[in-house]
A and B are shown apart, each in its own frame.
Chain A
Amino acid sequence: MSEPPSIFDILGPVMIGPSSSHTAGASRIGYVARQLLGDTPTRAVITLYNSFAKTHKGHGTDKALIGGILGFGPDDLRIRNSLELAKQESLVWEFKFSSGPNRYHSNTARIKLSGVGGGNVEIVGVSLGGGRIRIDEIEGFGVNFGGQSHTIVIIAEDIPGSIKNISAAIADTNNNIANMYVSRSERLANMVIEVDHPVEPRTINAIRTFPWVRFARLIAPMVEGSSRYDK
């Protein structure tokens, strides 16, 4: 065990029921997809695998995923009505189900989002239990992160010096890299960089101005209790 667990891994999460894996975790996966899209989503195609495919309705997994895509946290009561709210916001969605033999963890969702501005993003996320998630794929690149830290996701041409330039842009604002994962495919590289502090707009803007960067997005961690309680 790398880091000692928090007492709030035991007490909490505060969440909309009924299931930490099938509801709270599902909303977090949707939320990460929304942030990676970085735009108002207009279309969502969601494929559910294995246990998610079998038991999604009874656990409100569909409402939780759509709620996350609308930007609701796992403790946001609007998750209950997320399907109606999505219609009001002109989000069109489609669920597909896959329970045949596959390589995925039992609670897996693949989300493909399109935004108002014409952008698309596709991710695969896994709900691990207790509301924790892991993102396994972004745009076909294998990744591995939990979305609980400030995270920069970059897809760039695989050229020498790219990592140096990107780390310099991050260090410029005194931010510190906690974890960095790099994977390559064809002539592209994917970087997932977890940092200690919120990423300043000028950092991400600087990264986006590199001509070899194709895609750079931010994920801000979901703060527990970030949505408003009734009292």
Chain B
Amino acid sequence: MEFRLLSDIAEYCHTEGKDFAQAMLDYEMRNKNLTREQVYASLKQILLVMEESVEQGLTQQVVSPSGMLNNWAKQIYEHPLGALGPQLQKAIARAIAVGEVNACMGRIAAAPTAGSAGIMPAVLVTMMEEHRLSRERILDALLVSSAVGLIFARNSSFAGSEAGCMGETGSAAAMGAASITYLLGGNEEQILEAVGFALKGSMGLVCDPVAGLVEEPCTTRNAVGVANAFVSAQMALSGIKSLIPADEVIFATKEVGDLMSPRLKESAQGGLANTKTGREIQKRVFKQSD
């Protein structure tokens, strides 16, 4: 069983009378010779790790070895001044929480990568809390997100060294946008629209990590990725159409990734990594680690 495009999955849903989550369940069961229970057991484990990583970042001391990250998630979560609604304020704090846990060598679930690991947990925990959704529903949303990741991996790339941050937080935001749209009752077409919006919003985003570490700007870009996911889902659920279909947007991310200079793709040679301050931080970090 093979899906080449997101539209293939949508078509499978229509033909079989299934939703995106069921389509991906069929895909995994058939290709890997697994039972429904086995697939859900693995999904549950991923969700458990996601929830734990959010919790840890919001409750434990998380200061990265480089000193660049310092308990930011708690600060945002508890801040009395709200520029966003409380839902989004908490959501971005959760994304940063996971980023901090990751930088401190805590346990995380890459989704799709470690550098973008904050987005899916933030989206799912927030949806579970705000909409009082069951864990079972959230596991289905994870299945939906995997559809987006699967097609993105096939037709573009998750690797920061190939597609920049667009491939990491961009694809994670698209996975999150699809999950939110699905959980709020969006149909297959709306899920695809949400994916298109999220990827358009991160088109061309470079990977320029200061000192080559998964900290700055990765962590705050995860927060922006969460916002992107909610914004994209809202547009799709409101019935707005992405004029460029999601599958074509994915091909465009591949083209843009190929056109991006290697200096802007994880090599820590351009962008923020190459600023005066970025280089100073790099010097300091490597000195202390010698």
State whether these chains interact: yes
A residues bordering B, Cβ < 8 Å?
Answer: 1, 3-20, 23-24, 54-55, 57-60, 63, 75, 77, 79-80, 129-131, 224-225, 229-231
Q: Is the CB of B109 within 8 A of A12?
A: yes
B76, chain A: closest CB distance, angstroms = 20
**18 A–B pairs (Cβ distance < 8 Å), ordered by A:** A3-B31, A5-B150, A5-B154, A8-B46, A10-B111, A10-B146, A11-B146, A15-B114, A16-B107, A17-B106, A17-B117, A18-B102, A19-B114, A23-B105, A58-B212, A225-B42, A229-B52, A231-B48
Given A7-B146, A58-B211, residue A14 in contact with residue B114 (CB < 8 A)? no
Q: Pick the residue among B105, B143, B146 that contacts A18 (CB under 8 A).
A: B105
Q: Is the CB–CB distance between B48 and A17 below 8 Å?
A: no
Residue contact B105 to A79, C-beta cutoff 8 Å:
yes
Task: Please name the residue on chain A nearest to B28 by beta carbon.
Answer: A7
Please, how many angstroms separate the alpha-carbon atoms of A155 and B49 in the complex?
Answer: 40
Contact indicator B105/A130 (Cβ below 8 Å)? no
Q: Judging by beta carbons under 8 Å apart, are A55 and B212 in contact?
A: yes
Of A59, A63, A231, which one neighbours B214 at CB under 8 angstroms?
A: A59
Closest Cβ–Cβ distance, residue B19 to chain A (whole Å): 15
Q: How far is the CA of A231 from the CA of B108 in the complex (A)?
A: 14
A231 with B1, Cβ < 8 A, contacts A15-B110, A17-B103, A18-B105 known? no
A12 touches B114 (CB 8 A): no
In the assembled complex, the CB of A3 is this many whole angstroms from the nearest CB of chain B, namely 8
Tell me the complex Cα distance, A10–B24, Å: 12
User: Could you tell me the distance between the alpha carbons of A63 and B65 in the complex, rounded to whole angstroms?
Assistant: 13
Asked whether A5 and B153 contact (CB < 8 A) given A11-B146, A57-B289, A129-B159, the answer is: yes
Interface size bracket, B side: 35 or more
Q: A7-B27, A7-B143, A59-B213 are in contact. Are A14 and B107 (CB under 8 A)?
A: yes
A231 touches B52 (CB 8 A): yes
* Shortest Cβ gap from B73 to chain A (Å): 14
CB–CB A18/B212 < 8 A: no
Q: With A and B bound together, what is the CA distance between A229 and B285 in angstroms? A: 32
Q: Is the interface of B mostly helix, strand, loop or mixed?
A: helix
If A4-B1, A57-B289, A58-B66 touch, whether A14 touches B28 (CB-CB below 8 Å) is no
Provide the residues of chain A in CB contact with B49, threshold 8 Å: 14, 75, 229
Is B114 a contact of A20 with CB atoms below 8 Å? yes
The answer to whether B289 touches A7 (Cβ under 8 A) is no
In the bound complex, do residue B45 and residue A14 qualify as a contact, i.e. CB atoms below 8 Å apart?
Answer: yes
The docked-state distance in angstroms from the alpha carbon of A179 to that of B101 is 39
**Out of A6, A14, A17, which one reaches B101, CB within 8 Å?**
A17
List B28-42 residues whose CB lies under 8 Å from chain A. Answer: 28, 31-32, 39, 42
Question: B2 touching A4 by the CB < 8 A rule?
Answer: yes
Chain A residue at minimum C-beta to C-beta distance from B162: A129
Please indicate the chain B residues that have their CB under 8 angstroms from the CB of A19 in the complex: 114-115, 214
Contact (Cβ within 8 A) A14 B46? yes
Q: Whole-angstrom distance between the alpha carbons of A45 and B153 in the complex?
A: 36
Q: Is the CB of B212 within 8 A of A11?
A: no
Q: Does B158 contact A (CB under 8 A)?
A: yes
Q: Nearest chain B CB to A74's CB is how many angstroms away?
A: 10
A40 to chain B, nearest CB (A): 25
A84, B101: Cα distance in complex, Å: 21
Give chain B interface residues in 247-290, CB to chain A under 8 Å. Answer: 268, 285-286, 289
Q: Which residues of B contact A15 (CB under 8 A)?
A: 107-110, 114
Shortest Cβ distance from A54 into B: residue = B212
Query: Closest CB-CB distance, B140 to chain A, in whole Å?
Result: 12
Q: Complex Cα distance A231/B289, Å?
A: 33
Q: How far is the CA of A75 from the CA of B42 in the complex (A)?
A: 14
B220 contacts A by Cβ under 8 Å: no
